[in-house]
Amino acid sequence: MSGYVFNVLLDGFKRVWQSWNLRGCIALSLGMQASLLLLSPWRKRTRRKPIHASVWMAYLLCDWIAAVAIGLITKNKGEDARDHKPPKAGSHEAEFMAFWASFLLLHLGGPDTITSYAIEDNQFWFRHLTGLVVQLVSTSYIFYQTFPKHNKLWIPTALVFVAGTIKYAERTRALYLSSLVRFGRSVLSDPDPGPEYEAAVNKATDDLQNRMEIKYPEIKYPEVSPNEKIDWDSRIKLLKVAHRLFEKFKGLIVGYLLSSKDREWSRRFFLSINARQAFKIIAYELNFIYDLLHTKVVVVRCRVGYIFRFIGISSLLGAFLAFRSIEKKHLFEKEFDIKLSYALLFGALAFEAVTLLMLIFSDWTTVALTHEWSKRIAFFNLRRERWSRSISQYDMISYCLKGPAKWLSEFAKIVHLEGILDKICILLYSRTWVVSEELEKFIFDQLRTKSLTANDLKAAMEACSQRGVWALTQTSSSFKLKWSIEAYEYAESLMLWHLATELLYQKEQPDKKPPESCWPRLKKKMTPESCWPWLKKKLTPEYRFPCLKKKEKTPESGNENQPNHKEICKQLSDYMFHLVVMQPALMAPVLGNWQIAFQDTRAEANRFFREKKIKRSGQPEGCRKVLEVRTSNFRQAVVKGNSKSKSVLFDACILAKQLEKLDQLGVDRWRVMSRVWVELMSYAAIKCLPNVHAQQPSRGGELLTFVWLLMNHLGLGTQFYEHESQTDIKIDDSPEHDNVGQRNQGNNNAAAAPTSRCTEFSKFNCCH
């Protein structure tokens, strides 16, 4: 009996699947297109995992469902042709299948707001080109099977087929143009052989005889005052400046070198503006990079693109009118098929309307139009943020205290899933902090000071190679801390300073009191009079967003004009640790033997906290216990002898104690530490691969990427070459002048070397 029931249910399921599998796939494909169109622009403005996961899932399902649906239609038509089944009298299923197949081709083209989820997807443009050919052949075959004798819908089907072909071809071309190889070619200017050499030699000889100076054209940026209020006019100016800088500096993504003239123009401009303006420009510039790599903007925003877009929209409008006219004249059998066809038509037209509005109210349109029109568009366009303005944070002490149970870690190690377990724990306990204007200003001021000392490419390269020593040299009392930078690799030094920062920060935090029995007091507090002040406090912006709280005058914060160096240290320290642990691909060039030092330090910290019986919530107490250990300034490598351990836990304790002594010398230790953290972050930013930086705007943005682009605009990058190195050279082939020239050049270099070395640090002495 049970077998009979099972067979009946299975037969019923098969009949339902055969009747509704195609229609279900088409309806689901339409829903995925709508969700992808609306959600994809949000992924560059947020770091929330559910939104990114939804976009990723919709991106994969859109292509898969549309391809499966076309395959189902082709299979059904192939079986009918093989069995020589004529269409049933009064049945229009074959006509609707051909009509829907054209819409599926349109869905494979995808929305304009996303062509690739990651940069790696652009490299598979040839796969999409192959898919385009295969799907065009399949759809043409379906259309051919019903044309023209049995298909009353051949006119709207042909029109939608044209629009779908254009849409799919646009996506394939956008992927090709955004691939790194093709993108690198687009950055190159047109071949320029220059003027005729003989005529140029004659002109240069005349200019040399007349002592005429050769002048080069300069880029004129819109005048932006650092004291100017950020209104709509100033935002439009900043946007246009960002577009010009984007056109000049987009070659950084593919590793091209920029001329020293580009460096000097950009550096001079960024030295004349404030931090808020600089970060807005970089946000606009990264948004241009995102659009170029992940949307159809490069295909649509051209004369040919506008023509094909007009043809596509006109075809869809014509298909809608033709289908409505045919549907009124002929009585189709299935009402659901008619409604589904109308839903596909309305959906396609709605998608095009939304896409057109997004195209009009975009940064590209604001830059292209005149000032009056751009001001009207900017009122709607420039209101929204271009990135998440947030950083993820985690600290190693919490990682050790709140890690998984020992038995769970042992089990994960057996099944080789310990890395996944660690990341899950970090995701559960990590925090997100809003990037404040105070933090932006401090970073900008530090990099600006360093840029003022880097007047040439050699000084800029030397400034980029500093990973903390330059910051320590700004205060003479900090010289003895150089061991914490020079005696370790970068990743070990970063972990050392992270632990020292956490030890000092948690030492000043109060211990959490154990929860008391609250029921007797709860009855008293449940009255409306007592609940309202508490609720009113919870609803204030300062409570919901701690970064908005006004700073109080404390020894750490100083006056209103001084940044809170203690909080800046904490934010940057936890941010850099989170990057190293959770985004190793971003920090790969500077990691080295990070994993060895990390696991040894974690093992020693876990053992220490177990011996001291520190609870999971006892982070301040645990840090005080570490600082109470007698070190006598002996580093662990010396005390432990031949041990292979790379732990830096008690080296961080030594560093923390030395930093505490700076206060006795009248030096603000948090000020020194915040400078070191900015330099550690800038070193990692400039060492990271440019194409990895280019991936970050699609993930909500990364502060490290902002620092990388800001350093390049301030002339602190490593991707520049000396443009004038050969312009003043006239080859002298007289042998009697060789020795004299060599001696003079040697004397000049010997005189210039110490001067440049002295001026680098003597001009901007920040000792206080």
Average pLDDT over residues 569-594: 91
Q: Which pLDDT belongs to residue 187?
A: 75
Tell me: do 318 and 454 sit in the same domain.
no
User: What secondary structure, in 3-state letters, does 443-505 show?
Assistant: HHHHHHHHHHHCCCHHHHHHHHCCCCHHHHHCCHHHHHHCHHHHCCCHHHHHHHHHHHHHHHH
Q: How far is CA 328 from CA 322, 324, 332, in A?
A: 10, 6, 9
What tens digit of pLDDT does each residue of 424-454 get? Answer: 888 888 888 899 999 999 999 999 999 998 8
Q: Residue 515 above 90 pLDDT?
A: no
188-202, 462-476, 743-757 — which is least confidently predicted? 743-757
Judge if 327 and 410 occupy the same domain.
no
Residue 309 pLDDT > 60, yes or no? yes
| Two structure tokens written together for 654 | 């030594």
User: Are 329 and 423 contained in the same domain?
Assistant: no
Residue 685, domain member (yes or no): yes
Same domain, 398 and 311: no
Contact 180, 133 (CB under 8 A): no
Same domain for 400 and 354, yes or no, is no
Query: Residue 77 pLDDT more than 90?
Result: no
Mean pLDDT across the chain: 80
Which pLDDT does position 549 carry in this prediction? 47
Assess if residue 280 is contained within a domain.
no
Question: Is residue 339 assigned to a domain?
Answer: yes
360 and 487 fall within a common domain: no
Note the pLDDT of residue 539.
52
Q: What is the mean pLDDT of residues 462-474?
A: 88
Q: How confident is the model at residue 571 (pLDDT cuts 50, 70, 90)?
A: very high
Q: List Cβ neighbours of 602 (8 Å cut-off, separation of 6 or more).
A: 396, 399, 400
Considering the domain boundaries, does residue 741 fall inside one?
no
Whether residue 488 is found in the same domain as residue 603: yes
Alpha carbons 315 and 159: distance in angstroms, whole number:
5
**Is residue 569 in a domain?**
yes
> What is residue 377's predicted lDDT score, i.e. its pLDDT?
77
Task: Report, as an integer, the average pLDDT of 53-72.
Answer: 90
pLDDT of the residue at 543: 47
Same domain, 307 and 418: no
How deeply is 259 buried, as exposed, middle or buried, from its count of CB atoms within 10 A (0-12, 13-18, 19+)? middle
Whether residue 461 is predicted with pLDDT greater than 60 in this model: the reply is: yes
pLDDT-derived band at 318, boundaries 50, 70, 90: very high
Per the domain annotation, does 582 fall within a domain? yes
Contact 449, 764 (CB under 8 A): yes
* C-alpha–C-alpha distance, residues 423 and 359, integer Å: 39
pLDDT score of 386 more than 50: yes
pLDDT of residue 173 exceeding 50, the answer is yes
Task: Note whether residue 147 is domain-resident.
Answer: yes
Q: For the residues 101-128, what does the mean pLDDT come to?
A: 91
Whole-number percent of the chain with pLDDT over 90:
35
Give the largest Cα separation in the chain, rounded. 113
390-431 pLDDT per residue, tens? 999 989 998 888 877 777 878 888 888 877 888 888 888 888
- Min mean pLDDT across 35-49, 380-394, 513-527 is at 513-527
pLDDT grade for 555, boundaries at 50, 70 and 90: very low
Domain that holds residue 708: 391-511+558-721
The answer on pLDDT for 115 being more than 70 is yes
Tokens of 320: 């809608």
pLDDT score recorded for residue 756: 35
Tell whether the model's pLDDT for residue 177 goes beyond 50.
yes
Please indicate, yes or no, whether residues 358 and 401 belong to a single structural domain of this protein: no
Of the chain, the end-to-end C-alpha distance in Å amounts to 92
pLDDT at 141 over 90: no
Of 178-192, 212-226, 518-532, the poorest mean pLDDT is in 518-532
**pLDDT number for residue 229:** 56
pLDDT of 534-550, one tens digit each? 455 545 545 444 444 44
Q: Are 571 and 674 in a shared domain? A: yes
Long-range pairs for 754-763: beta carbons < 8 A, 24 or more residues apart? 756/456, 756/458, 756/459, 759/453, 760/453, 760/454, 760/459, 760/462, 761/453, 761/473, 763/452, 763/453
Model pTM? 0.83
pLDDT level of residue 154 (50, 70, 90 thresholds):
confident
pLDDT at 15 over 70: yes
Is the pLDDT reported for residue 735 higher than 60? Answer: no
What is the Cα–Cα distance from 174 to 300, expressed in whole angstroms? 9
* Residue in 712, 260, 654 with CA at minimum distance from that of residue 463: 712
For residue 764, name the pLDDT band (cuts at 50, 70, 90): very low
**Taking a C-beta distance cutoff of 8 angstroms, is the pair 596, 646 a contact?**
yes
What does the pLDDT average to over 282-305? 93
Radius of gyration, CA atoms only, the chain = 33
Q: Does 151 lie in the same domain as 62?
A: yes
Q: Provide the number of structural domains found in the chain.
A: 2
Are residue 335 and residue 423 in the same domain, yes or no?
Answer: no
pLDDT for 616: 78
Q: What is the pLDDT of residues 609-652, one digit of tens each?
A: 888 888 877 788 888 888 888 877 667 666 665 567 888 998 99
Residue 248 counted as domain residue = no
